[in-house]
Amino acid sequence: MTSTQTARETIYQTFVTDWANATPVTFANEDFSPPTDTPWVRLAVLHFTGNQETLGEVGNRRFRREGQISIQVFTPLNDGLRDIDALVQSARQIFEGRTLTGPIWCTDSAVQEIGPSDGWFQFNVDTDFAYEEVR
């Protein structure tokens, strides 16, 4: 059975494994001191909606949970776009169109160029996901 906690842990683990130390990584709500001169990323799993999909006895009802995986990619200012473009492409490929254990269905990814942000150049990669919880 997939739950909010197991979905988040599966998504985090998939990212850490596939990112393979390409840059330092932090997760939502963690203390982190970004490096001063190298790229880094922040990963957050955001749950948005939940709908009951089936009726029945407790323990046999299905609930659909939906949300978004948000990967914020940061590179030093004035380093150009080549490195951040490569990191964004790698981040997108980790989840877009992929089914993770659970199953957790990851669908579309949207890339948004944020630009300069607190001394960094930022892009966001946001991927929609859904899974079913039985309870």
Q: Looking at the predicted structure, is the pLDDT value of residue 115 above 70?
A: yes
Region class of 102: left (phi > 0), else alpha (psi between -120 and 50), else beta:
left
* % of the chain surpassing 90 pLDDT: 81
pLDDT exceeds 70 at position 56: yes
Domains in the chain and their CATH numbers? 4-134 (3.30.2000.20)
Q: What is the pLDDT of residue 81?
A: 94
Residue from 57, 68, 67, 65 nearest 125 by CA: 68
pLDDT classification of 82: cutoffs 50, 70, 90: very high
pLDDT at 10: 97
Respond yes or no on whether the N-terminal peptide bond of residue 103 is cis (omega within 30° of 0): yes
pLDDT at 58: 83
In terms of C-beta density within 10 A (0-12 exposed, 13-18 middle, 19 or more buried), how is residue 1 classed?
Answer: exposed
Q: Phi/psi at 94 (nearest 5 deg)? A: -65, -40
